[in-house]
Homo-oligomer: A and B are copies of this chain.
């Protein structure tokens, strides 16, 4: 199965420069002390639209040939990828359409509309979503940009790890969360070809552990009925992310819900930054002792910071 190369990631880095932020890398003595390690947090919560997703969407949008681009882009992700695609399209000056279930929360609709995309509502079923998307494509000729089953998107996501490895020499371990596998794949490819010493570990909620089970089984086992607060990680691997992860990730570790929330809160309290539950999964894995950390220099990709401040997971 084909997946992006390190050259694709380097090209993506050039392409999105000036659009995507080079996000800061933060450290925290308190957490370092607790884990007896040196941690370097790559803050994609500070990325545009509040998540790493902007990197992949931006690379995909700016990769399109002019003629194709003019017909616009489309996706059916109502989360961070939808907002990211909307902003990337606006920056290129082309139309974007986001197909969204009518059950999607108002806040997500407003975010996508705020970036100037058109929303087309569908029924909250896979069949309706696909037929609605197909109808828009038939009508407009728009290019579908899948949130992770897309080489340009994966290459874009890999640029975060590239920046982290460039900024922090001597990393021995790099962690990213895994959902559909776009970020984990990009991180793994970037790391494998940039560092001779860093291993990549992907962290996954125990309540949505399809990647873990898929790697164990040696074939994709789709996620059914995911049960996790980490709403960015409920999706299943696709063949290209499965292959990239199988080839370049040392292991996948799973984290229970309580630990995810505790890690999220620890980052808010000690680092004074807002991260979403998905971002907290890798740190959760370390806090739970799922990976040996002692004495290591460790990079963690904090995937995003979009949370509903009226419904925090520790609220009573």
Contacts and interface: CB of A to CB of B under 8 A. Distances in A.
B45 A272 contact: yes
A271 B48 CA distance: 10
A305 B272 contact: yes
A314 B310 contact: yes
Name the 5 nearest CB pairs between A and B, nearest first: A272-B305, A272-B274, A45-B272, A273-B273, A268-B274
Nearest to A44: B272
Nearest to A269: B309
A310 B29 CA distance: 23
Nearest to A28: B46
A272 B310 contact: no
Nearest to A24: B24
A43 B315 CA distance: 26
Nearest to A114: B30
| Contact-size category for A | 20 to 34
A105 B275 CA distance: 27
Contacts of A312: 309, 312
A117 B119 CA distance: 57
16 contacts: A24-B24, A24-B26, A26-B46, A46-B271, A46-B272, A265-B309, A268-B274, A268-B309, A269-B309, A272-B274, A272-B275, A273-B273, A273-B274, A309-B312, A309-B314, A310-B314
- State how many copies of this chain the complex holds: 2
B26 A272 contact: no
A50 interface: yes
Contacts of A268: 274, 309
Contacts of A315: 310, 315
A316 interface: yes
Interface string A300-316: 00000100011010111
A305 B271 CA distance: 9
A45 B50 CA distance: 19
Contacts of A273: 272-274
A21 B191 CA distance: 29
Residue of A24, A43, A46, A312 contacting most chain B CB atoms (<10 Å):
A46
A46 B27 CA distance: 10
Nearest to A305: B272
Nearest to A271: B46
A164 to B, nearest CB: 16
A244 to B, nearest CB: 28
Contacts of A265: 309
Contacts of A26: 24, 46
A316 B316 CA distance: 11
Given A46-B272, A312-B312, 7 more contacts: A29-B48, A265-B309, A268-B309, A269-B309, A272-B274, A310-B314, A310-B315
A46 B272 CA distance: 7
